[in-house]
Amino acid sequence: MGSPVLRPALLLPPPALQQPLLLLLLLLLLLHVPTSRGFPALDPYDSTGSGDSPLEDHEVDYSHARYEDTPWCSPIKVRYGDVYCRAPLGGYYRTALGARCDIRCQKGYELQGSSQVTCQPNKRWSDKAICKQKRCPTLAMPVNGGFKCVDGAYFNSRCEYYCSPGYTLRGEHRVTCMDNKAWSSSPASCTDIDPPTIKCPSVKERIAEPNKLTVRVSWDTPEGRDTADGILTDVILKGLPPGSHFPEGDHKIEYTVYDRAENKGTCKFRVKVKVKRCGKLNAPDNGYMKCSSDGDNYGATCEFSCLGGYELQGSPARVCQSNVAWSGVEPVCAEMNVDVNVRTAAAFLDQFYEKRRLLIVSTPTARNLLYRMQLEMLQQERCGLDLRHITVVELVGVFPKLVGRIKSKMMPPALAMQLRLLLRIPLYSYSMVLVDKQGTDKERYISLVTPKALFNLIDTLALRKEEMVLQAQMGQSC
């Protein structure tokens, strides 16, 4: 067996002192009130709790009968707020497990978090609460002014408005941030009541450009001035802008300027455009006229032509001059006078150059059936012949009994013979030759040809196409 264990003896006071010590312990027990383990006793009306942090306390068992085992939460302190706590049912301590606290913020502050919290078994309150100073909406900066504030936009802050030079303050000069998070008055404004000024240019009468009905008119855009801050928001032009081509007539131009306060200033002026005119010309009898531009304005040109069978006498073109007078001489369309007493066939044809087309019908005898039928068909289409500037020349017989005829005029036999030889027309058979305005034979016929087929051929010629356009403009048709 091992050595016996030595136990220390219980040290007791001497018998003479044991009774007084027992009495002293009993007295202390009677005076001491039981509390939760490790917590001092609290005033039941003290809402500050034990003062211990829940992170530093130890877990304890909760007992409905005894508080010495009940966990506590940290005391609640809310800056700018008041806390009202209630102990759990049947309990005494206001920060013990199950305690409820109501939180209210002071005037000018608002609660963020729960308005009521509960002490939980983990020694933490169920939520956090903060009393934050109330804030009014940020004030809008007044146009042409500003404001100065004490303490920003928080509760009880005061702001004072001011305006830039030249502006008048409208509304309350001072506003205060109230408890309902609204300013004590509506925002003030700075008003500019003086309209801006603007001076328009002076534009004199303008003359339209040659051969035109318009004139380009320019001017410097007028500048407006504001009496307050010198800033203009809009410049509005009513009418054609500078640099435009203005037509004949009286044109009103208006400028309107606005400042930032929507005051407006206006100026007006007129642009008068005059077109020099020589007066309208008329087409000559048995002729037509084609004019440029408006027909009688400065620089306009009028060209004249005659109908088939007529010859232009006078100026073929006239121009409207700056002194409002027409140049040249008034044209006249006179019936074409053909000279049949010329010595050569070439001289005879020169009379028709660029004026008329020739349709030369040749027959050895007037009794020729083709000749008589062809003339009859052509006579029925006299309008179509004149419209196409066609002159019919008849060569009838055999030299020396050969005669030539243009309407009622008779040609000498020698001239008629030269014409047959020059154009290589057969002497002893029926033949028909078409000669254009340049003196060139375009087509030859040895039998009857209908006027329609003849006209279709002539209408394909280059000069004829230009004639057709001009005649359509003048309304000439058969």
pLDDT tens digit sequence for 451-467: 999 999 999 988 888 88
**So what's the pLDDT on residue 308?**
65
Provide φ and ψ at 246, rounded to 5°: -90, 130
Q: What is the pTM of this model?
A: 0.45
- Cα dihedral 42, 47, 52, 54 in deg (nearest 10): 130
Please count the other Cβ atoms lying within 10 Å of the Cβ belonging to residue 78. 19
Reply yes or no on domain 287-335 having CATH 3.40.50.2300: no
CB 263 within 8 A of CB 192: yes
Q: Do the domains 145-191 and 37-133 match in fold?
A: yes
User: Which range has the worst mean pLDDT, 20-24, 69-73, 333-337, 470-474?
Assistant: 20-24
pLDDT in tens, 184-227: 999 898 888 788 889 998 887 899 999 999 999 999 988 888 87
- Mean of pLDDT values over 317-332: 95
Domain segments of the chain: what residues?
37-133, 145-191, 197-273, 287-335, 345-470
User: What class, spelled out in words, does domain 145-191 have in CATH?
Assistant: mainly beta
Residues facing 301 on adjacent strands = 319
Provide CATH code, domain 37-133. Answer: 2.10.70.10
In CATH, the architecture of 345-470 is: 3-Layer(aba) Sandwich (3.40)
- Mean of pLDDT values over 18-46: 42
Q: How confident is the model at residue 25 (pLDDT cuts 50, 70, 90)?
A: low
C-alpha angle with apex 462: 458 to 463, nearest 5 degrees?
Answer: 80
Provide CATH code, domain 197-273. Answer: 2.60.40
At position 343, the amino acid (one-letter code) is R
Highest mean pLDDT (candidates 8-17, 59-68, 89-98, 260-269) = 260-269
pLDDT in tens, 391-448: 999 999 998 899 999 988 999 999 999 999 999 999 999 999 999 999 999 999 999 9
- Provide, rounded to the nearest whole percent, the portion of the chain with pLDDT above 70: 85
- Cα dihedral 360, 363, 368, 373 in deg (nearest 10): 0
The two structure tokens encoding residue 306: 């005659």
- Give exposure, 342-353, as e/b (b: 16+ Cβ within 10 Å): beebeebbebbe
Q: How confident is the model at residue 4 (pLDDT cuts 50, 70, 90)?
A: very low
For residue 230, is pLDDT > 90? Answer: no
Could you tell me which residue, 158 or 231, shows the higher pLDDT? 158
* Rg (alpha carbons) of the chain, rounded to whole number: 62
Q: How confident is the model at residue 44 (pLDDT cuts 50, 70, 90)?
A: very low
The two structure tokens encoding residue 446: 């040895």
Average pLDDT, the chain: 83
